[in-house]
Amino acid sequence: MTALYPSLLDPKTLTRQVWDVNTARQIPGVGRALDLIGGLGSQMPLDMFAGIMPLERPRLLEDPDLEYVRPLFVSLQLEDYLVHGNAAHLVTARGRDGWPAACRWYPASSWHVAVESGRRRWWLNGREVDTDDVVHVPNGADPLAPYRGVGLIERFARSLDRVALQEARERSDTMGGNVPSVAVTVPQTDPDEDELDAAAKKWEEKFQGPGRRPVILPNGTVVTPLGWSPNDAEATKARQASLTDVANMFNLDGYWLGAPASSHTYRTPGVLFLVMVRTTLNRIVVPFEETWSKYWLPRGRKVRFDRSAIESDDLKTIVDMLVKATGGPVMTVNEGRTVLKLAPVEGGNELRTAAAEPEPDPPEQDPEDENDPEETR
């Protein structure tokens, strides 16, 4: 029997900074990437199609989990898929036709699987469950155990540990106060070491508290604030490089995590999210669409995430597009109003055809030319 998400190590050994989803989420870039992808997935409604024709959305697609609302159910599944490499839920109720009517999400760490005579057997929290009730979406396949996927923590364990170690080192340097707050240059050319230590002690005693008390210094004394250090500068560069590494782990443009990236100043939101969907999100949600279609719906029907919910551009651009589309044989007025979430209007179901261009009027003829005998001949 194999755990879907085996423990990388015993946390008590403290040999690693990252070993599960909680320790990985403590890295700001990882938390941001998971929230971004999970948030986009939770915003897309689930639709049912037969070929290219949309069908009425069944209750299962509106509220699949009786415990969690649909957006939370989807985001939890996507997080398990990315971090653990395996997303699984249990069918808890079926309709009269035998197809699922409700299900329940359980974290990947709760599942175990074994293969006997080519058939999988599943255990949930140590209790065996019916294989037909388990819906499992793996992220790739483990070469040593092809029936389970491999998540980002297993795949990039060393890189994530390095990022966490950098953050721990920066925290240690900040807490240790390795850089003094100010540098005081005394006017004496050859000051006595004991006098300097005594002056430094008085300085600390006077300015240690939260109050801002006045200070009187000998003529020629220079006080230079020290707010930055070479170590701090190197830590900032390392943090930027770590953000780029995390973006690469999630196949994201560094722009989304605040990492150095190309300029997106002149790109509209629709274009940015279209690139996000094509390069990152499709790779994640398509396995869910195919697997859920297989286990949730009869043959010939498909589950699809409504990507238009996140690909929409600004309102002006959408309206301009719809005006052009409804003015020709592309879509009806009511179909365009549906995109804008407006009620249909009377007569709006007719598909318009492109108006034929009027023939140009013949050139006007001069009356004198009609009576000219030369022109007649």
Q: Are residues 147 and 272 in the same domain?
A: yes
Tell me, yes or no, whether 243 and 200 share the same domain: no
Mean pLDDT of the chain: 80
pLDDT value of residue 257: 87
Q: Is residue 174 part of a domain?
A: no
Quick: pLDDT tens for 69-91: 999 999 999 999 999 899 999 99
Q: For residues 81 and 215, state if they share a domain.
A: no
- pLDDT at position 12, please? 45
Question: Domain for residue 102, yes or no?
Answer: yes
The whole domain housing 188 covers 180-227
- Residue 61 CA to its chain's centroid (Å): 22
Same domain? For 107 and 8 the reply is: yes
Q: What is the pLDDT of residue 62?
A: 93
Q: State the pLDDT confidence band at 293, using cuts at 50, 70 and 90.
A: very high
Residue 302 lies in a domain: no
Residue 359 structure tokens: 């023939």
Shared-domain flag, residues 36 and 147: yes
114 and 214 housed in the same domain: no
Is 297 among the domain residues?
no
Specify the pTM.
0.71
Strand 86-94 with 134-138, pairing: antiparallel
Higher local confidence (pLDDT), 345 or 209: 345
Instruction: Give the DSSP per-residue string, 229-289.
Output: -HHHHHHHHHHHHHHHHHHHHTT--GGGGT-S----TT--HHHHHHHHIIIIIHHHHHHHH
Q: Provide the pLDDT for residue 356.
A: 46
Residues 275 and 339 in one domain: no
Tell me, yes or no, whether 13 and 156 share the same domain: yes
Residue range 328-339: average pLDDT?
76
Cβ-based neighbours of 332, under 8 Å, separated by 6 or more: 326, 348, 349, 350, 351, 352
Position 331 in a domain: yes
Q: Read off the pLDDT of residues 280-292 as tens digits, 9 standing for 90 and up.
A: 999 999 999 999 9
In the chain, the number of structural domains is 3
- 8 located within any domain: yes
- 107 and 63 inside one domain: yes
The answer to the question of residue 252 being in a domain is yes
Residue 147 lies in a domain: yes
Residues 327, 263, single domain; the answer is no
pLDDT in tens, 239-277: 788 888 999 999 998 888 888 766 655 556 667 788 888
Is 144 found in the same domain as 21? yes
Structure tokens at 278: 């094509």
Given a contact cutoff of 8 angstroms between Cβ atoms, the answer to whether 64 and 73 are in contact is: yes
Q: Are residues 114 and 65 in the same domain?
A: yes
